[in-house]
Amino acid sequence: MKLNKKQITTIVFGSLAGIFLLLAILGKYIFKPGTLLYELSADNIGKFFGIVDFFDNNVPNIVETIAVVVFLWVISKVFELILKLITLRGKKSRTIANLLASMIKYGVLIVGAFLILSAWGVQTPTLLASLGILGLALTFGAQSLVEDILAGLFIIFEDQFEINDIIQIGDFRGRVTDIGVRVTKFEDINGDIKIINNSDIRGAINTTNKLSPAICDVSVSYGANLKDIEEVIKKNLHRLKEAIPHIKEGPFYYGVQELGASGVVLRIYAKCEENDKYGVRRQLNREIKLIFDENNIEIPFNQIVVHQAKE
C-alpha cells in the first residue's frame, strides 16, 4: 500500500515522539551519570515522566488502590448475582432489579472514588463538606434531574408499567426495554429505541395489563344471503381457533358492523396478548379469505353506482 505525504509525516513524527518519550523515561538507567543525555533524562525531561520513581515511592498507595478496586468489583458482582435471582420471579421483579442495578452502579463509583482519594492522602471529610455545599448549589440547577429520579420511582412503585409492557405515549408506541434512574427506553415495531426522561412520561397508555382485541372486518355483497354466510362463519370459528394458537379468547362472530358503500361489513372478534395482536389480525384475515373462497362467498370490490336521470 502506497503512503501519501501526510501519512509518512505522521509516522515519522509519531516514531520520533515515541523514541523521545522512551528515552525520557528510561534515560537515566541507560546513560552514564554526568553525561548530557543523563542530565536531560534525570533532572530535566525525566522528572515529568518518572514512572518508575512514581511506582517506587507509592507502592502502599497503589496496593491500597488495587485492593479497593478489587473489593468493590467483588461487591458489585455479588449484588449482580442477587439481582439476577430476583429477576426470576417476574416482570415487576426485573424492573425493580434494573432500577437497583443503576443505583448500585452509581453508588459503587462514588464510594470507590472517595476510598481511592483517601488512599492517596486526600482529606475526604473536607472534600465531602465541600461537595455538600456544591451539591446544595447545584440542586437549584438540577431540578429536572430530581424530577426524573422521583418520577422513575413512582413509575416502579405505582405499577404504572414494567419492562416488556407495550406503552402508548402520544404518537409513539413501543415496548419498554429499560427503566433507569433518570430515563426510560422504549423500542418500537421498527426496532428503533426511543429514550424519554422519566419526568416527561405523561398520559402513558399501558396496553399490556389486559388481553388486546384482534378484529377482522370483512365485507360481503348486498346481494348475498346473509344468513347462510353467518352460518358458514359460525361453523368455522373452531377452525380459526385451531389455526391461530395465539388467540386466548374467542374468536367470536359479532354480527353486522357496518352497511358500507360496497358491501355489508361483518366483524370477527378475538382476544390475544398485546405483542401478538397484529399477527393474529393478519392470520384472521387470511383464514377468513380461505373460508370464503372454499364456500364461494364473494368479497366485493369497491364500486360506485351511477344513476342517470331520465328526461
Q: pLDDT of 209-234, one tens digit each? A: 778 888 889 888 888 888 888 898 88
Class of domain 146-206: mainly beta
Q: Measured between alpha carbons, how far is 113 from 135 in angstroms, rounded to an integer?
A: 17
Output the DSSP codes for 274-289: GGGHHHHHHHHHHHHH
Give the domain ranges of the chain.
5-57, 59-141, 146-206, 212-294
- Assigned CATH class of 212-294: alpha beta
Half-sphere exposure of 274 (CA within 13 A, CB side): 16
As a whole number of angstroms, the distance between CA 13 and CA 107 comes to: 43
* Amino acid sitting at position 184: T
- Options 1.10.10, 1.10.540, 1.10.287, 1.20.1540; which CATH number does 59-141 get? 1.10.287
Residue 278 has pLDDT above 70, yes or no: yes
Q: What share of the chain is helix, strand, coil (3-state, %, to 5)?
A: 55, 20, 25
pLDDT at 49 over 70: no
Indicate the pLDDT class of residue 303, thresholds 50, 70 and 90.
Answer: low
Q: For residue 40, is pLDDT > 70?
A: no
pLDDT at 74 over 60: yes
| pLDDT of 134 above 60 | no
Residue 50, pLDDT > 80, answer no
Of the spans 3-17, 71-85, 122-136, 211-225, which averages the highest pLDDT? 211-225
Rounded average pLDDT over 154-182: 79
Confidence (pLDDT) at 140: 57
Residue 267: predicted pLDDT: 92
**What would the grid cell of residue 180 be?**
433507569
Average per-residue pLDDT in the chain? 76
Residues 79-91: tens digit of each pLDDT: 777 767 766 555 5
Model confidence over 254-269: pLDDT tens digits?
888 888 888 889 999 9
